[in-house]
Amino acid sequence: MSTRHKVETESEKLQRRNRELSILNTIAKALNEEVDPARALNVALRHVAELFDLKTSWIFLLNEAGEMYVAAAQDLPPALADHPRRLTGECDCLWLYEKGRMRSPQNITCTRLENLSVGTAGLRQHASIPLNAHGKPLGVLNVASSAWDDLCSQDLQLLYLVGDLLAIAIERARLFARSAELGAIEERNRLAREIHDTLAQGFTAIGLQLETAEALLEAGAAADKVRQHIGQALQLARLNLDEARRSVMDLRAAPLEGKSLPEALAALLDEWKSRRKVTAEFEVIGSPRPLPVRIEIGLYRILQEALTNIGRHAYARQVCVQLVMMPDQVRLFVSDDGRGFQPDAAPTHHYGLIGMNERARLLSGSLEVCSTPGEGTEIEVLIPLEGTS
């Protein structure tokens, strides 16, 4: 009897170890295929949810300023998903981590959910797993289940190993991003040289054609000869304009260099309002986080164009800009109390709105304009983050 019980126990132990190895292998393989930080985090959470039968999880990471932000989330309850502010600020798990008291997975009552009665999906506790790479603190992985007995101590230890895999993947993705950024700087310098070479030569050629046309006019030459040189100058101007547009689209946005997106947007708004008699407010909701460069550039340019439109057409006295940052999406709101307009009847030559809409769509996002004559204008831009690069 006891022998049979021992055989069954060893069999169960073998099954458990096989399961653990399978989980680690699945997650390690998935993370090894990702070099983008956002995708790596979302892949990890998705596999954790499937393999551990957990519904909700989220990851806090440290930014360069040493502040925690929500970098990724899986199926947050409405109390958190619909209220980004609740994911900011201090809580017990972050306090323990920052004080160095989270050296292993810990079951913690979630201070963000414990006093709420609506929208928690039955969640009250979560396991917190520290994320460290080579002794360097990176952040915290939180996993939650409404039936907390679903996670045994062995699962918690397995999650600790998953946390190690995740930390290594985060560090690798960040190193890759830095190398890509260095490559972008080199490419920008190359493009700058290319612009100088192509446009400078183009403008020189235009100047020669116009000087020739002017000389022919002074000499009393036939009008056809003068028109010929002016026509060539016009053609060269168009070709160089196309070249300039192509090159500018490839360049990085200089105002973002050395600044986070919120800092760059705030500086843009401050500079804009300093030239006008307008009250302008800027607010960030959610934890600031680094985004893919193309998304930061797109949002910067959209706000830049929105402010230009307000300055030209709205006659506004107050402008409000709000940046809402969530794990899966980022939203930009711009509102003014100007004279407004009828969006459906906007003239087709309003390239500002067209350009903003095109930028949003290029980022797989959307732009909505809400305006009524005499009642101001609101613009909402929504850009999804999961799967971006």
Minimal CA–CA distance to 131: which of 96, 168, 172, 176? 168
Please give the Cα distance from 346 to 372 (Å, whole number). Answer: 12
Q: What is the mean pLDDT of the chain?
A: 81
Could you give the angle at the alpha carbon of 83 between the alpha carbons of 81 and 87, nearest 5°?
80
Minimal CA–CA distance to 337: which of 309, 311, 312, 318? 318
Please give the Cα distance from 377 to 190 (Å, whole number). Answer: 41
- pLDDT, residue 281, reads 96
pTM of the model: 0.62
**What CATH number belongs to 256-384?**
3.30.565.10
Please give the Cα distance from 220 to 311 (Å, whole number). Answer: 47
Strands (E) across 213-341 are located at 279-285, 318-325, 329-336
Q: Where are the domains of the chain?
A: 2-179, 184-250, 256-384
**Torsion angle of alpha carbons 263, 266, 268, 272, nearest 10°?**
-160
Query: pLDDT tens digits for 338-351?
Result: 999 888 766 555 55
DSSP letter (8 states) at residue 317: S
Please give the Cα distance from 359 to 36 (Å, whole number). Answer: 22
Helix (H) or strand (E) holding 371: strand 366-371
The listed CATH number (1.10.287, 1.20.120, 1.10.3470, 1.20.5) that belongs to domain 184-250: 1.20.5
Six token digits for residue 245: 């547009």
Query: pLDDT tens digits for 145-177?
Result: 776 555 677 788 888 888 888 888 888 777 776
- pLDDT, residue 303, reads 93
Residue 96 · residue 82 · CB < 8 Å: no
Please give the Cα distance from 131 to 44 (Å, whole number). Answer: 13
Residue 297 · residue 252 · CB < 8 Å: yes
**What CATH number belongs to 2-179?**
3.30.450.40
